Structure formats: structure tokens, C-alpha cells
Chain A
């Protein structure tokens, strides 16, 4: 296949290139909303994509979580025991469904993950106001399938980490100066499809419900 590589590249390199269009990269992210407006926009955008949004505080979010779990009759919830969020949940688990931890490589319990887990709770790496988007940087503590396989995904986001736009988030979080995680995710609602008659239906392959707690 090295042959293919060399053939392709040498063909490309012999082409004559004329002056290209000038590319000014910093023109597109000019918006700068107030933090209140950002939160409001973030909320309406996510809601219009059928996500559930809850407002909470540093103190009340655990109660919100309990409320959500009860309202949805969840029997179990997958979470990380080592994040600060997870630790707080474990300490106050009385009114919560049974807590499950992702502490084994997926190969050892894939079937259970796909069939037995009803919900997952994750933190987020940030949010994007103009599109209503959660940014997730899955890692060893919160693996990537947590936000994908269980039918309900509950995510917590700090309002202070909501950026105007994706372009701004990239810059503010210095993505290009960091070693990127294996899989970054932008999530803007529950899974959906419009493949039949361009009519929206939710919960196709990913989570059927996306619940966001803002603190």
C-alpha cells in the first residue's frame, strides 16, 4: 500500500496550484453574550432538541438528581465513583436507585451494559450556547459508552463553563495545545432520526432521553 501512498501524493504534488482565496480565521466568532443570555440560549436550544433541563445549585443538584431518578422510576444508574460528582452522589445515595460503577473494561460486562443499565450520570467538559451542546471529554473515569449505551443520559454542567460558540470553546479550552482524548463528543439532544419522511423520531440508537442539570 506504500505504493498507493506514493502514487497518490506524487500525483497531487505535480498539480499546479494557483493563488488561493485568503483565509481569515478569526472572523467567525464575534458574538459575546452575557452569561445570563448564554444560559438561557443553551437551555432553549437543548429544549428544542427534546432534552430535559433542570436548574440547580451547588447544593440542590443532588436533590434534583434524586427527583429525576424517581420520576423516571430508574432502577439503577451508572456513574463514576471517583469524580467529585460521583463521590458526592455516593455519600448521599439513600434516595437514589442502585449505583453501578464502570470499573471493568467493557469486554467483561458488555452484555450487562447494553441490557441491564437504565441510566448513566456524567459530568461535562463544557457547553455551547448557540447550538445547545454538551462537550464531553470521556476518560478513564467516565468512559465514552456512558453517554451512548444506557437509555437515559443525565449530565451535569456548570453554567460557568458554557461558551458562546463551538469556535470559542475550542480556543478558550486550548484544544489544540492539549493531547486530545481518544473521543471528544458534542451532544445536542437525545438520539434522533428523520430518515423516514423527514419526520423526527427520538431514541434511535443512542440514549432516548437526555437530561441536563445546570449548576
Chain B
């Protein structure tokens, strides 16, 4: 699939944040860090409080009516012609790639094209549009990365996380073996086919363990929760953290 944007555009003053339900409920600090990172670049952040979920869980489960209703509720929250930033490739991909299919033949189909064109995954936005220049203030550390399948194959932004981490001079980045292989999360897949999902995540966790890194960094909290959960279950020393939180923690001076 080829999703070239209508316009990459200049650096905007204001953006919308689409926080995603997983971050909302489980990883709020990734969302807060996203706001800090954006604001530091001089970008105002609007967070429409009525947002909930992009609808992907239902869409991927075949519940199209439910997905449509939920997606429609989100669609209305981003009326201004400014970028929408999602700190998740999976949710960004849902809006960017799947909304137009989901709304096909619906009266509001046209507005999905506009929204799809404006949605950015966070690391993509930081590198491609804001062209951030980061200064590392943290201690030397080694991290393993995991790019989600949606970042890799749906949004084509898997390398942005590397570009960002490589700006941090005290951070050694290691790509685990078989990096392009899915971690086995797959949303409801992990619940519907837990045995296969487990086999996949164990393999992934092992590859990450083998890197000897201190932390696992990713741009999607679904994968992080999955792999991180498996690592933790095995009493691994490797903790997991969302790229936004990692970047913010290492690049701002703590206020005394």
C-alpha cells in the first residue's frame, strides 16, 4: 500500500493529541510525555476530552457496526485542519488506513480522507515534521527496540524510533534478532489464540533478553504490554517503556 501524504506541510503551531485507550488506561505517562515533547517544540496540544478508542478492536474482530459507531464518535473531535498525533502506530494506522474502508459508502466517508491524511504516528511526526534535535542528559544505557508490525508494514515508520534513539549519545541501541517478526499480540488474537500468542511472545522475549539491554523501547503499547509482560513473568531485568516517555525522561532537566 502506498500512502503518500497530500502534503507534509510546515511545522504547525497546534496539534490534536489522540491519546489511545491503551495509553489512557495503562500507560498514561506515555501520553503525558508526548505532550511535553510536543510542547517543547513550540507546539500547542489540544486533547479533546471526549475521545475514547479508535475502534480498532471491534474492526479487527469483524464487528463493523460497532467499530463504525465508535470511529464516527472520534471523527467529529478533530475538525480543525491541523495534524492529529497518536503515540501509537496501531491506532494511527487504524485511522489512516482503515477508516476510509470502514466508512466506505457512508455519508461521512469523505471526512475520513481528510482525517486520515492528518494523522501522524508520534515518532513519524517528531522526525519528519518537527525534525527534533535531542540532547541526551541521561546515564549511559543500552536499549533493545521493538517496532510494531503496524509501524513497519502499515505506516512504514518503523525506522523513526531508531532515528530518534540514535540522537541520544549515551544510548546504545540494539535491534534484537528477527526484529521484523510479530510479537504475537494482535489485539484479540492474544485472547482468542493464547497458545500461539504465547509461543510467539516467548520467542520475542528471548530475542530481547539476548540483547542484554536494560530497557525495551517501542512505539506501541500493545506490543510493549505483551513483551514486557512476558519478560516480567520470567523475572527478567529488562523493563519496558514507551518511546515518548523514554525520550522525555532523558532529554529534560528535572525541575528541582
On whether A and B touch (CB less than 8 Å), the answer reads no
